[in-house]
Amino acid sequence: MRPRGDFAERLKRIPPYPFSETDRARKAALAAGRDVIHLGIGDPDTPTPEYVREALKEAVEDPATHRYALDEGDPGFRRACARWFKKRFGVALDPEREVYPTIGSKEALAHLVLGLVDPGEKTLAPEPGYPVYRASTTLAGGEAVPLDLAPENGFLPDLSAVSDEDAAAARVLFLNYPNSPTGALASRGFYLEAVRFARRHELVIVGDAAYSEIVFEGRAPSILEVEGAGEVAVELHSLSKTFNMTGWRIGFAVGAAGLLAPLAKVKSNVDSGVFTAVQRAGAAALDGYGDFVPGLVELYRRRRDVFCAAMGAAGWEVAPPKSTFYVWMPTPKGLPGAEVARRALEEADVVLTPGGGFCRPGGPAERFVRAALTVEESRLAEAAKRLAKIRW
Ligand code: MLT
């Protein structure tokens, strides 16, 4: 008999969630009375815009929002998503069949994988990459095959390097552009190549577009803009970063009805949808996009410039990201990222995320750290000043 405290095998195969770890370290330092600068998680520090908060207040007063939202959710939210998508990417979606509300993109991608991957099957997961790609694959009983994102390839995966064996066993190809943690962008040309690859190998592309609006150079296309993508790709969008709504838990998946069906089936069995009042506020957020998002992008651009200049002056090798609010930095002297992050907290009261959180054990990303630009400019400058004092 298995002891009660011996939990499921699948749980033993996933590491602790890296951003919960950095948060624990931060809280312990704060509890010890230290002046901590937290660059360890991409959680926007400025508030959700007032017009969105007002929309929530109004929606909450309507008792119709108090009941189960269930999986398909609020038709008004799905229509707002389709409207925004058409305006932003020029792609027309059927709000009834090709848009699906989610509890943020993290939940959606984990549940989608559960609906697509059987034990023994594989996924192709970029590294460095969001840890949920690997974890969700493991929870589904599958194996994540790392696709290394090299700087010399613009942090795009080299799909021609995937072995025939892996391609044949893989059910999912994860893509994430704008990319966390590297800040890289993908072009339509790359998406076309990925779509051809997915068609050849009968794969589903799960496009994580959580950072699609935080872009400093050019624009980030949707994979659904390219020919043939509709048959192979599901794209996950989130209101978290675009509208400072991480705590609200709202996003949406887009794609062909047939590809959204596994997500819908899993979700209808494990959750009961997004609070309808939050969906109404989400619709308001999307409709007010133009009044809010450009200002937010400028805020992050200024922070990026201040931080990268200060870190560069401190002797770190820093390439300003083209997108997202992350700075992905090789560690001084190639030290392990975990050691650098530990010393940054101990000696400078600065929380960084070690690169190991974004890759397999021993992956090249272990010699990087990530900084999130989610504190004020003055604090970013102060963080760089403190880090500059450490003798590595
Ligand atoms: C990040 O910091 O990369 C993520 O936004 C954190 C998360 O999704 O848990």
Query: Which of 22, 23, 41, 325, when mutated, tests ligand 1's pocket best, judged by the most ligand atoms within 8 Å of its CB?
Result: 41
Q: Are residues 73 and 205 in the same domain?
A: yes
Query: Domain boundary at 253, 268, 289, which?
Result: 289
Q: Compute, in angstroms, the gap from residue 140 CA to the centroid of ligand 1.
A: 21
Q: Are residues 367 and 352 in the same domain?
A: yes
Q: Are residues 155 and 74 in the same domain?
A: yes
Nearest to 188 by CA among 201, 199, 175: 175
List the structure tokens of 55: 């929309």
Nearest to 123 by CA among 189, 196, 201, 17: 201
Residue of the CA atom closest to atom 3 of ligand 1: 42
Q: Compute, in angstroms, the gap from residue 113 CA to the centroid of ligand 1.
A: 18
Residue of the CA atom closest to atom 1 of ligand 1: 42
Q: Are residues 208 and 295 in the same domain?
A: no
Q: Compute, in angstroms, the gap from residue 19 CA to the centroid of ligand 1.
A: 7
332: domain range?
A: 9-47+291-388
| Assigned domain for 249 exists | yes
Q: Are residues 132 and 142 in the same domain?
A: yes
Secondary structure (DSSP) of 54-116: HHHHHHHTSGGGGS--TTT--HHHHHHHHHHHHHHH-----TTTSEEEESHHHHHHHHHHHHH
Q: Compute, in angstroms, the gap from residue 41 CA to the centroid of ligand 1.
A: 6
**Can you tell me which atom of ligand 1 is nearest the CA of 43?**
5
Query: Which of 106, 132, 328, when mutated, tests ligand 1's pocket best, judged by the most ligand atoms within 8 Å of its CB?
Result: 106
| Assigned domain for 3 exists | no
- pLDDT exceeds cutoff 90 at 22: no
| Assigned domain for 274 exists | yes
Q: Are residues 96 and 18 in the same domain?
A: no
**CATH code for the domain in which residue 263 is found:** 3.40.640.10
The number of residues making up the chain comes to 392
**Can you tell me which atom of ligand 1 is nearest the CA of 41?**
2
Is 23's C-beta closer than 6 angstroms to any atom of ligand 1?
no
Is 19's C-beta closer than 6 angstroms to any atom of ligand 1?
yes
Q: What is the pLDDT of residue 21?
A: 87
DSSP 152: G
Q: Compute, in angstroms, the gap from residue 240 CA to the centroid of ligand 1.
A: 10
| Assigned domain for 260 exists | yes
| Assigned domain for 4 exists | no
Mean pLDDT of 272-286: 98
Calculated CA dihedral for residues 234, 239, 242, 248, nearest 10 degrees: -150
Q: Are residues 109 and 255 in the same domain?
A: yes
| Assigned domain for 134 exists | yes
Mean pLDDT of 207-231: 96
If you search the block for the tokens 């009044």, which residue do you land on? 291
Q: Per residue in 161-185, pLDDT tens?
A: 999 999 999 999 999 999 999 999 9
Q: What is the pLDDT of residue 254?
A: 98
Percent of the chain with pLDDT over 90: 96
If you search the block for the tokens 């133009």, which residue do you land on? 290
3-state DSSP call for residue 385? Answer: helix
Per the CB < 8 A criterion, the answer to whether 130 and 149 are in contact is no
Q: Are residues 298 and 316 in the same domain?
A: yes
Q: What is the pLDDT of residue 71?
A: 83
Q: CB under 8 Å, gap of 24 or more: what pairs does 54-62 form? A: 55/280, 55/281, 55/283, 55/284, 55/285, 56/277, 56/278, 56/280, 56/281, 58/280, 59/276, 59/277, 59/278, 59/280, 59/281, 60/277, 62/277
- φ/ψ of 369, rounded to 5, equals -135, 155
Query: Which of 39, 43, 208, when mutated, tests ligand 1's pocket best, judged by the most ligand atoms within 8 Å of its CB?
Result: 43
Nearest to 284 by CA among 254, 314, 260, 248: 248
Is 110's C-beta closer than 6 angstroms to any atom of ligand 1?
no
Mean pLDDT of 319-329: 98
Residue of the CA atom closest to atom 5 of ligand 1: 42
pTM, two decimals, is 0.96
Tell me how far apart the alpha carbons of residues 322 and 328 are, in angstroms, rounded to a whole number. 11
Tell me how far apart the alpha carbons of residues 119 and 61 are, in angstroms, rounded to a whole number. 46
Q: Are residues 79 and 222 in the same domain?
A: yes
Q: Compute, in angstroms, the gap from residue 233 CA to the centroid of ligand 1.
A: 23
Query: Domain boundary at 274, 289, 304, which?
Result: 289
**Can you tell me which atom of ligand 1 is nearest the CA of 372?**
2
Q: What is the pLDDT of residue 183?
A: 98
CA angle 217, 18, 237 (to 5 degrees): 45
Q: Are residues 35 and 157 in the same domain?
A: no
Q: Are residues 282 and 340 in the same domain?
A: no
Is 21's C-beta closer than 6 angstroms to any atom of ligand 1?
no
| Assigned domain for 1 exists | no
Residue of the CA atom closest to atom 4 of ligand 1: 42
- pLDDT exceeds cutoff 90 at 28: yes
**CATH code for the domain in which residue 40 is found:** 3.90.1150.10
Query: Domain boundary at 260, 289, 318, which?
Result: 289
Provide the domain count of the chain.
Answer: 2
If you search the block for the tokens 């990222």, which residue do you land on? 337
Q: Are residues 64 and 126 in the same domain?
A: yes
Helix 337-348 × helix 377-388 angle, to 10°: 100
Q: Per residue in 354-381, pLDDT tens?
A: 999 999 999 999 999 999 999 999 999 9
Mean pLDDT of 267-294: 97
CA angle 375, 184, 144 (to 5 degrees): 100
| Assigned domain for 239 exists | yes
Is 180's C-beta closer than 6 angstroms to any atom of ligand 1?
yes
- pLDDT exceeds cutoff 90 at 72: no
Q: Compute, in angstroms, the gap from residue 106 CA to the centroid of ligand 1.
A: 9
Q: Compute, in angstroms, the gap from residue 355 CA to the centroid of ligand 1.
A: 13
> What amino acid is encoded at 62 in this protein?
D
